[in-house]
Amino acid sequence: MAHRLLLLGTGGIAGHHVEEFAAISNCGIVACVDQVPGRAATFAAENRIGASFESLEAALGWGQFDAAINATPDGVHKATTLALIAAKKHVFCEKPLAPNHADALAMTEAAEAAGVVNMVNLTYRNSPAIQEARRMVQAGEIGDLRHVEASYRQSWLVSKSWGDWRVEDKWLWRLSSRHGSTGVLGDVGIHILDFATYGAAQDIVSLHADLVTFPKAEGERIGDYVLDANDSVAMTARLKSGALATIMASRFTTGHANDLSLALHGTRGAIKVETDGKASHLSACLGEDVDQQRWHTITPPDVKRNARRFADALDAGRNGDPSFRRAADMQKLIDAAFESSAARLPVSIG
């Protein structure tokens, strides 16, 4: 069965979705939507998309699609997704699902009640290394998990490799709560928390977080942008088994453009995962190598990418992973980290 997709939002991430779904033979993007006048029409022409609209309402009125890729800004995910769900359309949503757990849970419950396929594009699930690491943990290859180290390292506040944040609105808004930013925790927290707990194959039951906003400009302001959003987060957490986790994310980790790492240490061995979102590396210290602290590289098998898993879920009529509920659970952890840092106390995850 061919699945007709609506692309909602034609900003920077839209081209990625066009590329991903073009590789899937039974899916086709048949229309796109953008509220900026002329933008959807231009995008449609450039990407050979048959129809374009300047409002979601107009697209829903047309209705000739089965599922939607929601690539709108974070703050409008909820309203647009709920409208799609009400129309019984399946949804593949960009991260984060919503700015807070309450909204993410409302979206999850609506999707589940409607029986529509719902997935969130947590892109680092596309890494073969993280998928193989999870399999190894679940198979007991490193024994009982004792410690997890996870990090998400960016350096665009000290590097111009992505542009100059001091003069470009596309970066400045990420530093200002008045412009909708929830800092590095809100931006990439869902990625590193999912990466850590998915790889460990365990949930977090409590955490203690510290959020820091570093000095960046005179008066901590550039034009209309008040630079008050968090730049770095460090947390300790306990997993369900009692294992201890240390998790961090920062925009000040000089020498790293966009790097994720995960180390899983157990009673019989250890695993390390590294990825920049494109290439990934997996290594392990197992068996006789444990006594000599020797690590060897593992070549993991290829895995299905998120877009392919969404297409498979549409084919099967069963939900895929990562689901809205998974993203809502990660948002609960993010909310708890904000609460913990503000109170300077650990928080239990109910």
At residue 118, the pLDDT reads: 98
Chain mean pLDDT for the chain:
96
Confidence of residue 73 (pLDDT cuts 50, 70, 90): confident
Amino acid at 64: Q
Tens of pLDDT, residue by residue over 117-176, are 999 999 999 999 999 999 999 999 999 999 999 999 999 999 999 999 999 998 999 999
CA pseudo-torsion sign 253, 257, 258, 261: negative
89 Cβ partners below 8 Å, 6+ apart? 6, 65, 66, 67, 68, 116
Average pLDDT (268-297) is 97
Average pLDDT (290-296) is 97
At residue 350, the pLDDT reads: 84
Quick check: 322 pLDDT over 90? yes
Quick check: 75 pLDDT over 70? yes
Q: What are phi and psi of 269, to 5 degrees?
A: 170, -175
Quick check: 309 pLDDT over 90? yes
Q: What's the token pair of residue 188?
A: 């990439």
Tens of pLDDT, residue by residue over 54-66, are 999 999 999 999 9
For 50-72, what is the HEC assignment? CEEECCHHHHHHHCCCCEEEECC
Residue that wins the pLDDT comparison between 290 and 1: 290
C-alpha–C-alpha distance, residues 125 and 322, integer Å: 8
* Closest-CA residue to 19 (of 54, 82, 65, 69): 69
Could you give the percent of the chain with pLDDT greater than 90?
A: 97
Average pLDDT (298-308) is 96
At residue 94, the pLDDT reads: 96
Amino acid at 91: V
Pair 154, 257: CB distance under 8 Å: yes
**Partners of 232 in the beta sheet?**
212, 250
Segment (H or E) for 46: helix 39-46
* Closest-CA residue to 271 (of 96, 77, 131): 131
C-alpha–C-alpha distance, residues 49 and 65, integer Å: 13
At residue 1, the pLDDT reads: 59
Cβ-in-10-Å burial (0-12, 13-18, 19+) of 86 comes to exposed
C-alpha–C-alpha distance, residues 245 and 257, integer Å: 24
C-alpha–C-alpha distance, residues 87 and 319, integer Å: 18
* Closest-CA residue to 95 (of 184, 4, 186, 22): 186
**Angle in degrees, 0-180, between the axes of helices 324-343 and 101-114, rounded to the nearest 10:** 170
Q: What are phi and psi of 104, to 5 degrees?
A: -65, -40
Tens of pLDDT, residue by residue over 129-144, are 999 999 999 999 999 9
DSSP letter assigned to residue 161: B
Look at the chain and count its residues: 350
At residue 12, the pLDDT reads: 85
pTM summary value? 0.94
Q: To which residue do tokens 């995962």 refer? A: 273
Q: What's the token pair of residue 305?
A: 């990418």
Confidence of residue 180 (pLDDT cuts 50, 70, 90): confident
Q: Which domains does the chain have, with CATH numbers?
A: 3-122 (3.40.50.720), 124-308+331-348 (3.30.360.10)
At residue 17, the pLDDT reads: 97
Q: To which residue do tokens 């895929």 refer? A: 320
3 state SS of 324: helix
222 Cβ partners below 8 Å, 6+ apart? 166, 172
Average pLDDT (67-71) is 98
Q: Please compute, for residue 350, the number of CA atoms within 13 A of its CA located in the half-sphere on the CB side.
A: 2
Average pLDDT (279-301) is 97
Quick check: 273 pLDDT over 90? yes
Tens of pLDDT, residue by residue over 201-259, are 999 999 999 999 999 999 999 999 999 999 999 999 999 999 999 999 999 999 999 99
Confidence of residue 74 (pLDDT cuts 50, 70, 90): confident
